[in-house]
Amino acid sequence: MKGHLFGITILSVLLVLGAMVVPTNADLAPTSQEVGVSAKTLSGTIEGIDPSQRIVTIQSEEKQGEMMLLAFSDPDVVKGLSKGDRVVVELDDHGMAKKIIKASPEQKDMSTPKN
pLDDT, tens digit, 9 for 90 and up, residues 6-51? 667 665 655 554 544 444 444 444 444 444 445 699 999 999 999 9
**pLDDT recorded at residue 30:** 44
Average pLDDT over residues 90-98: 93
**pLDDT recorded at residue 55:** 96
Every domain of the chain and the residues it spans: 40-102
**pLDDT recorded at residue 10:** 66
CB-based contacts of 68: which residues, under 8 Å, 6+ apart? 42, 44, 57, 58, 59, 60
14-18, 20-24, 64-68, 69-73: least confidently modelled range: 20-24
Cα 38 to Cα 11: distance, rounded to the nearest angstrom: 45
**pLDDT recorded at residue 98:** 94
Percent share of the chain, pLDDT over 70? 57
H-run or E-run covering 74: none
Question: Which residue, among 35, 36, 38, has the nearest Cα to 91 in the 3D structure?
Answer: 38
Question: Measuring CA to CA, how many Å separate 65 from each of 44, 47, 68, 86, 112?
Answer: 10, 12, 10, 15, 22
> Could you tell me the fold of the domain covering 40-102?
OB fold (Dihydrolipoamide Acetyltransferase, E2P) (2.40.50)
- Of residues 91 and 115, the one with the higher pLDDT is 91
- Of residues 7 and 90, the one with the higher pLDDT is 90
- Our measurement of the distance from residue 16's CA atom to the centroid of its chain's CA atoms, rounded to an integer in Å, reads 33
